[in-house]
Amino acid sequence: MVTGLDEVGRGALAGPVVAAAVVINLDKPLPDGLDDSKKLTALQRERIASELRETSIAYAIGRIESDVIDQVNILQATFKAMLAALRNLTPSADYLLIDAIKLKECPLPQKSIIRGDSISASIAAASVIAKTFRDQLMREQHEVYPQYNFASHVGYGTPNHLRALREHGACPIHRKTFRGVMPDGE
Map out the domains of the chain with their CATH numbers.
Answer: 2-134 (3.30.420.10)
> What pLDDT is recorded for position 182?
81
Distance, CA of 129 to CA of 133 (rounded, Å): 6
**Tens of pLDDT, residues 164-185:** 999 999 999 999 999 989 875 4
**Tens of pLDDT, residues 86-137:** 999 999 999 999 999 999 999 999 999 999 999 999 999 999 999 999 999 9
Phi–psi pair at 60, nearest 5 degrees:
-155, 155
Identity of the amino acid at 61: I
Q: At what angle do helices 121-144 and 42-55 cross, to 10 degrees?
A: 120
Question: In sequence order, which residues have a C-beta less than 8 Å from that of residue 15 and are 6 or more positions away?
Answer: 9, 66, 134, 137, 138, 141, 150, 154, 155, 173
Tell how far CA 98 is from the center of its chain: 13
